[in-house]
Every structure is written in C-alpha cells, then in structure tokens.
Amino acid sequence: MNGVTVIGLGPMGQAMTSAFLRNGISTTVWNRTAGRADKVVSEGAILAPTVADALAANKLVILSLTDYKAMYDILSNFTHALKGRVLVNLSSDTPEKAREASKWAEVAGAEFLSGGIMVTPSMIGQPGSFTFFSGPKEVFDEQEHLLKIIGATDYRGSDPMLAPLYYQALLDIMFTSMAGIMHAIALMRSGNVSGKTFEPYLLNFLAFMPELVRDLSMAEEADKGTYYGELNNMNMMAAGIDHITHASHDAGINTSLPALIRDIYNKTVALGHGKDGLASIIEVLKKP
C-alpha cells in the first residue's frame, strides 16, 4: 500500500513507472493494452490482472491517459474500489474537466489531485522536469515525497482547475508560437533562404522575447486594463501584420495565420485602441 499504482502506459506512464522503480518504489501498473506493460514489468513493475487489483494495490493511483474520458472509461465500473484512494490525474484535459472529476472522486470517497506534466517522457525523473499540481493541500503534502520522483512539484492551489489551467496556458504559448515560427520559416524558404540559414536569427529573436514581454508590460497592462501605446501603437501593429499577410500571399504560402492575427488587431483598433499598445489585443481575446 506504500507504493504507487500507475494506470496508463503510453510513453509518459512508462517513463513515470521506470522513474518510480529506479527509486525503489513498489509500482503496480494496469493498461488497457496489456502488452504495453512488457518493458516496465521487465524493470520490476507488477502488472495487475484487473483494474480492481490495480486499485487495491496502493493508496496513490496515478492516471496517465489521453484525456479524462479515458479515466471514466476505465474506472466507472470500479467506483466501489476508489474509497480511500488518492487519484492523481496527470492526463491532459480542460480545467473544467478537472473540477468535475474532483467532485466525481469525492462522491466515490476518493481524494483527487489534478496535474500537468510540463516535460517529455525522456525528461521524467531528470533535472529540469516539473509538474503542476492542484487539489487539497494536505493530500498533496502527504503524497509529495512520491510525486517529486517524477520531477519538481509546483503546487498551484486547492482548486483542481488550477494545474490544468497553468498547463494549458503554457501549451497555448507553445502551440501558437511554434505555428508562428514555422510560418516564418515557410516565408524564408519561399525566398530560397533555408530554415538552417534563418535559424540563428530565429533563436536570437526568441531570446529577445522575454525582454519584449517585460518592456511592453504585457502582463501588467492586461491586469490593469490600461495600455500605453507611445512606442508600439495598434495602428502601426495592424499595418505591420497586414504587410506580413500580403507578403505571404505574394510568396505563394499559406496566409491563414497572419490573416487571423490581422483580424484580431483590426478588431482591437475598431474597439478604439488604435493609439494603445499591443497588450490591448486582450480586449478582443478575453471575449468569447
């Protein structure tokens, strides 16, 4: 009962199981496709024959699944076996799903922590690995000695929506900025400049981004709702993104990404923020 049960053995569940085993923690596993347990079983994991056996083995039950629906698919017929368990769901999904799951677990007599792993499977258990957690503080404190084997823990608060909220916000930055990076590379390649030739400029610019975020007071202005446009007004920015959209069209590459940003900028100007700074686009983004 002092070990860990891991349900879900994709690359992430396997990496977590290996990390627990390396640290001498008794680890019981269950996966819909049993064959995915072969590697971790060869490292010393115990393969539970049924979900009920997996739940009976340990108080701490970690879920590493595609989404929260998979958790219900697996556990709904075993809610009687959840009493007294600590479910830690490290699967990706929306903050609202985490809140619902916390209430569902409570009805079944289980404690619930939500989490968001911020690294790839190969980084699990290594320096630099970190995971957001949220849920009851005393439950987190009780389990932290095991959870920190995955990587550094960052407890964000008692509301179970908080860990997925931080996780989603950081992935939001990753997905949108990666799309911008690839669009820029497509633009360069349309001018016969290779991605590798452009890469140093790309990396230099990315290194400058933190300074830009601070210099333009993006977070602070969003909080205050006042936007100083003396050095970067939206009229100028809207013209700039319009130029990129036209340049993309002329280059024969996809224009949907700059056109989307242009639409957001134009709407911001139409709201009366033409002379305000770039952070004022939050006035458009914060609405449905």
Select the residue interacting with ligand NDP from 24, 38, 73, 209 (CB under 6 A): 73
Interacting residues with ligand NDP between 90 and 109 (CB under 6 A): 91-92
Query: Do the Cβ atoms of 258 and 248 come closer than 8 Å?
Result: yes
- Please, what is the end-to-end C-alpha distance for the chain in angstroms? 46
- Could you list the beta-strand ranges (E) of 59-103: 60-63, 86-89
- Nearest to ligand NDP by Cβ — which residue? 10
Candidate ranges 7-15, 138-146, 195-203, 234-242; the one touching ligand NDP (CB under 6 A):
7-15
Candidate ranges 6-14, 198-206, 220-228, 247-255; the one touching ligand NDP (CB under 6 A):
6-14
Query: Do the Cβ atoms of 251 and 190 come closer than 8 Å?
Result: yes
To ligand NDP, the closest distance from the beta carbon of 286 in angstroms equals 26
Interacting residues with ligand NDP between 137 and 196 (CB under 6 A): none
32/246 with CB nearer ligand NDP: 32
Interacting residues with ligand NDP between 13 and 72 (CB under 6 A): 13, 31-33, 36, 64-66, 70
Residues sharing a CB contact under 8 Å with residue 96, sequence separation 6 or more, in sequence order? 161
Per CB under 6 A, does 8 bind ligand NDP? yes
Select the residue interacting with ligand NDP from 4, 6, 12, 40 (CB under 6 A): 12
Choose among 283, 178, 187, 286: nearest CA to 234. Answer: 283
2/33 with CB nearer ligand NDP: 33
User: For the stretch 240-264, what's the b/e string if a residue is b when 16 or more beta carbons lie within 10 angstroms of its beta carbon?
Assistant: ebbebbeebeeeeeebebbeebbee
To ligand NDP, the closest distance from the beta carbon of 248 in angstroms equals 30
Q: Determine the 3-state secondary structure of 181 from DSSP.
A: helix
Which is it for strands 60-63 and 86-89: parallel, antiparallel or unpaired? Answer: parallel
Long-range contacts, 169-173 (Cβ 8 Å, 24+)? 170/118
Select the residue interacting with ligand NDP from 4, 9, 188, 244 (CB under 6 A): 9
Chain contacts with ligand NDP (rule: CB under 6 A) = 8-13, 31-33, 36, 64-66, 70, 73-74, 91-92, 117, 120-121
